[in-house]
Amino acid sequence: MRNAKNVVMYLLLTVAGAAANTLAPAIISDGIFAYGVAASIFIALRYRPVLAIPAAFVIAFPLTLHHPLLAVAVLVAQPLILSLFCYPKRILKPLIYAGFFWSLVALPIIGLAFMGEQIETTSELITASIISWLGGVVGLLIGHISYCIANRERIAASSELVPARGMLSYIFASLLFLIILVIFIGYLHIFQKQQKMQIDKYIGERTGIIAEQVEVFLERNQSAVNLTANLLAAGLSNNSATNEAITQYLQSLAVNQPHFLTFLVANEQGEITNSYPPDLKIKAEELGYNSVAARPYFSQVQATEKPYLSNAFQGKGFGNDLIVAISSPIMVEKQLAGIVEGSLSLSSFAQFDKQQIPGFAVIIEDAAQNVVYASERLALTPLMPVEYEACLNERCAHGVRLKENDWLGSRRGVSQTNWHVRLLYDFSRFTDTFNTWLLLALGVLLCLALLSVLVGHILATVFTAPMNNLVRYFESFAPDSQSVGVLPQRKRFYVVEINQLNEAFSNLQERLINAFKDLAQSRLEQKVLNKQLRALNISLEEKVEEKTQSLKEALDKAKSANESKSQFLANMSHEIRTPMNGILGSCENLLEMPLPDGVSKKIEVIHYSASHLLSILNSILDWSKIEAGKMTLDEHSFSMRTLVDSVLFLNSQAAQRKNVLLRCTVNESVPEHLLGDGGKLNQIINNLLSNAIKFTQSGTVSINVSFSDDQLQISIADSGIGMSKEQLARIFDQFEQADSSTTRVYGGTGLGLSITSKLIELMGGTIQVTSKLRQGTTFTVSIPFSQDVNLANANVPVLPHLPQKLNVLLVEDNHINAEIVADIIKSQKWVLLWAKDGQQALDVLSKHHFDLILMDCQMPVMDGLEASRQIRARTDDKALIPIIALTANAFEEDKQACHEAGMDAHLAKPFKKEQLLNVIATTLKRTTSIS
């Protein structure tokens, strides 16, 4: 449970640290706000380097997306150094290492890392470096203090002694510094936010004003052209619009509207009739541009009979100037008689940027989003679209990047047109201004940090100085002195509690001196008493030594007896299982052959008797495991209904022979799959059910299974011979049955119910029994189980397919067992070679290739364990051949010894054909997937 809690805490800290490093910085700066450093420091002090180092990289990964890799590497180096050099050493040692690291190494490297980035000013570089360094220091303090608080019990239980002055100075200075830092960052965040809001507000208002000015400017020039067109229309109506009059109108228009470069008048066919200056018409005729019918400022007016404002373009025919064309129709009796057009110079739009406020730039775009005018500092080409990019830094919210610079900006449309005005503010000027304030604030913060260290040192001295005086006085005090010492005079900042300690020690000193005076008067009596005590002590030591030697001899005898019992059980298990394997295996092989009915029936009897004998042997071995405390639980998913069906099937023949009716009810409350030791539950139910059948001559045996509150209830009732109260009191004792006649009539070892009760107790359950003589017995078992919601785990594993061809080497010294295994192997049409000991197996293996080795353990010349070790020590492919132990050694330490020798699986004798084939298939599949 504790390990699981540590793993969960480790994962939560890692995820929280990485998430914290994704948070936006509290203030606008190029520095690294590594909020997750504290989590890295905590993990580095709390967990081993094998866990702390990966966590440090995971937590720092989000920082690499927005900051220089070298600077982030310096921050990662801090928890790495703490983990490698400080875990699990003194509690204050991390501060020494980290302080040295950040003072001499970190800050210069962070500065070099930021120099390679796009930081334009020295103030930005300094502030970015200091903020990044400061983030590491703050993370160290928070992580270290959090570690001390979370692990205070462990620190208090350690042998480390922390100086009071250093501890008090550190705690006070750290907490005061962190409080001041939070206040400063909060103030700077609010101040910076207000400054940016004011700039954004000014940009928005100023952009609206410029857009209105551009609108008024265009409307005024459009109105002038419209007025001239109306005058010409009136003149053409009354035939007063001569060439001289038209030229005079254009000249008057040019005087009143100086921003126009040229004017022209064209008839309804688009042919130029008049111009200003007059020589432009002559020039146009020479160049062949006497018609403007294809020009948009003519065709659009001709199509709509409305005034027209063009996009910016470069003139052609009348010059190469950059202009905006403004044209208006000449309507005579509601018919288009021509147009008046004026070419407005793009330089006239410079008037909207005449203030030239430092840091600000203006861009005027036409309907095609081409530049009509842009401030000189932008160096934009007129008549070309502007390619805006997103700011490289997220600090520049709602801004753009232009000409390798970030800008705060606002964009407004010009009414009655599709033109736009954009006002930009250099974001670097904002950061420079704020960095100046930030440098000042950092300077004040560092001064306050030094002040907090000084104040912490003074306060710690106030508490520790009197305590040090007391310590020195304690050291010089001798309880056998004849006079009472005098403590140093109290200082100005003496603490009340320490003064109370002083007075208490003075009183104790007087009592001790008086006590020593009384003791001095009785020293002679004490010498006599000491002599008597020494004599008594010598006598007691001799008796204790004698008793100790007796206990040691008794313990050695008990240990020897226990070892002899274990060795006897191991030898008995091996010696009985080896012939049992021959009996059971021979019976199974014979039963697969066509035999007369009488012979087959006798062989079945032999097989049943041998199985019963094996059951008795297993009961004895189970009890030995329980008694030695080596019985363990194997938790896995299993189907309760399938388990009950299998137990009923195993006991059905015994019930049929006795005309006993088996009944089973599995309540719907029982989950489909449970999580626990299904094997031992099978053994419990099988023991109780076989007992019920054994002691029931006729009648019924019923099983009822239900589930509620994570408890599995099993009730097994029979209508058998029953028991009295005296018999019930001892049925769970080992080697006990109801009475002596029970053993003679029904047989058994008397271990079944004892083993069953121990298994139930091992699984945390209870068993109850009710019985009446000649009326039957009911056993009720309640065992805690949890429902397995992951049904995939509960699926019954499918036996892998066995290969068609297989070369098998059998290593077995017993001829009978070798023949039984040979029959099983030959039934699969596999090739088998037989070796009688481990040395012979090594010789055969050097000459032939095998796909599988079946190895006995106890053999003459060389046993199976040593042979397996030598096979695994080979340098060729034969070292990887799967080895399965077929041995009568069935104890857990025997299985462990086989695996340590290099064997892949263990199968205890006696075994059935299906068991052997199942182990072979599983082993081949596992070793094939691994290779």
> Domain containing 860 — which CATH number?
3.40.50.2300
The answer to whether 20 and 54 have CB atoms below 8 angstroms apart is no
Residue 579 lies in a domain: no
Give the model confidence (pLDDT) of 614-637 as tens digits.
655 665 665 565 665 556 676 778
Rounded distance, CA 314 to CA 101, Å? 64
**Are 40 and 140 found together in one domain?**
yes
Give the model confidence (pLDDT) of 280-320 as tens digits.
877 877 777 788 888 898 999 989 989 999 998 887 766 77
Rounded distance, CA 533 to CA 539, Å? 10
Rounded distance, CA 528 to CA 535, Å? 11
Question: Which spans in 328-368 are helix H?
Answer: none
Which of 495, 521, 547 is the C-terminal boundary of a domain?
521
Identify the residue with better confidence: 857 or 136.
857
Phi, psi (rounded to 5 degrees) for 559: -65, -40
DSSP string, 860-907: SSS-HHHHHHHHHT-SSGGGG--EEEEES--SHHHHHHHHHTT-SEEE
Quick count: other Cβ atoms within 10 Å of Cβ 398?
9
pLDDT of residue 585: 63
The answer to whether 99 and 106 have CB atoms below 8 angstroms apart is no
Partners of 777 in the beta sheet?
718, 771
Model confidence band, residue 74 (pLDDT cutoffs 50, 70, 90): confident
Which of 309, 330, 345 is the C-terminal boundary of a domain?
345
pLDDT of residue 135: 77
Residues in the chain: 931
HSE, side-chain direction, 13 A CA sphere, residue 830:
25
pLDDT of residue 589: 65
Model confidence band, residue 744 (pLDDT cutoffs 50, 70, 90): very low
Rounded distance, CA 304 to CA 329, Å? 9
414: DSSP letter: P
Identify the three-state secondary structure at position 717.
strand
pLDDT of residue 617: 60
Q: Is the pLDDT confidence value at 882 over 90?
A: yes
Identify the CATH number of the domain in which residue 690 sits: 3.30.565.10
Residue 180 lies in a domain: no
**Are 376 and 251 found together in one domain?**
no
Regarding pTM above 0.85, the answer is no
Tokens in use for 47?
Answer: 């967990």
pLDDT of residue 95: 67
Q: How far is CA 468 from the centre of its chain?
A: 48
Q: Is the pLDDT confidence value at 192 over 80?
A: no
Contacts 24+ apart (CB under 8 A), 152-156: 155/91
Domain range for 820: 807-930
**Are 409 and 284 found together in one domain?**
no
Model confidence band, residue 793 (pLDDT cutoffs 50, 70, 90): very low
Residue 390 lies in a domain: yes
Residues 89-101 as b or e (16 or more Cβ within 10 Å = b) = eebbebbebbeeb
**Are 266 and 335 found together in one domain?**
yes
Residue 455 lies in a domain: no
Residue 179 lies in a domain: no
Q: Which residue has the tokens 């010409």?
A: 232
Q: Is the pLDDT confidence value at 277 over 50?
A: yes
The torsion angle over the Cα atoms of residues 136, 181, 166 and 104, rounded to 10 degrees, is: 40
Give the model confidence (pLDDT) of 306-360 as tens digits.
999 999 888 776 677 889 999 999 988 888 889 999 999 888 888 888 777 788 8
Instruction: Specify which of 162-171, 192-201, 306-315 reaches the highest per-range mean pLDDT.
Output: 306-315
Rounded distance, CA 378 to CA 363, Å? 9
pLDDT of residue 329: 94
Poorest-pLDDT segment among 228-232, 447-451, 927-931: 927-931
Residue 287 lies in a domain: yes
Distance linking the first and last C-alpha atoms of the chain: 35
**Are 646 and 712 found together in one domain?**
yes
**Are 775 and 816 found together in one domain?**
no
Tokens in use for 247?
Answer: 């030229």
Nearest to 781 by CA among 848, 846, 843, 732: 732
What is the number of helices (H) and of strands (E) in the chain? 26, 23
Parallel/antiparallel/unpaired status of strands 905-908 and 883-887:
parallel
Mean pLDDT of 716-739: 71
**Are 275 and 355 found together in one domain?**
no
Instruction: Specify which of 507-516, 571-580, 855-864 reaches the highest per-range mean pLDDT.
Output: 855-864
Poorest-pLDDT segment among 443-452, 861-870, 903-912: 443-452
Identify the CATH number of the domain in which residue 412 sits: 3.30.450.20
Question: Which spans in 592-639 are helix H?
Answer: 597-628
pLDDT of residue 632: 66
Domain count, the chain: 6
Tokens in use for 478?
Answer: 């001798």
DSSP string, 264-288: EEEETTSBEEEEESTHHHHHHHHHT
Model confidence band, residue 735 (pLDDT cutoffs 50, 70, 90): very low
pLDDT of residue 605: 52
Rounded distance, CA 802 to CA 807, Å? 13
Query: For the purposes of burial, counting CB atoms within 10 Å of the CB of 525, is it exposed (0-12), middle (13-18) or buried (19 or more)?
Result: exposed
Give the model confidence (pLDDT) of 359-411 as tens digits.
888 999 998 889 989 888 888 888 888 888 777 666 666 778 887 777 888 88
Which of 732, 767, 794 is the C-terminal boundary of a domain?
794
Q: At what angle do helices 864-872 and 838-847 cross, to 10 degrees?
A: 30
**Are 301 and 362 found together in one domain?**
no
**Are 248 and 367 found together in one domain?**
no
**Are 658 and 786 found together in one domain?**
yes
Cis peptide before 108 (omega within 30 of 0): no
389: DSSP letter: B
The answer to whether 478 and 195 have CB atoms below 8 angstroms apart is no
Residue 53 lies in a domain: yes
Rounded distance, CA 931 to CA 916, Å? 22
Rounded distance, CA 10 to CA 150, Å? 13
Residue 925 lies in a domain: yes
Instruction: Specify which of 32-41, 225-234, 609-618 reaches the highest per-range mean pLDDT.
Output: 225-234
**Are 415 and 481 found together in one domain?**
no
Poorest-pLDDT segment among 156-170, 415-429, 872-886: 156-170
Identify the CATH number of the domain in which residue 6 sits: 1.10.1760
pLDDT of residue 745: 43
Mean pLDDT of 120-144: 75
The answer to whether 581 and 909 have CB atoms below 8 angstroms apart is yes
**Are 35 and 149 found together in one domain?**
yes
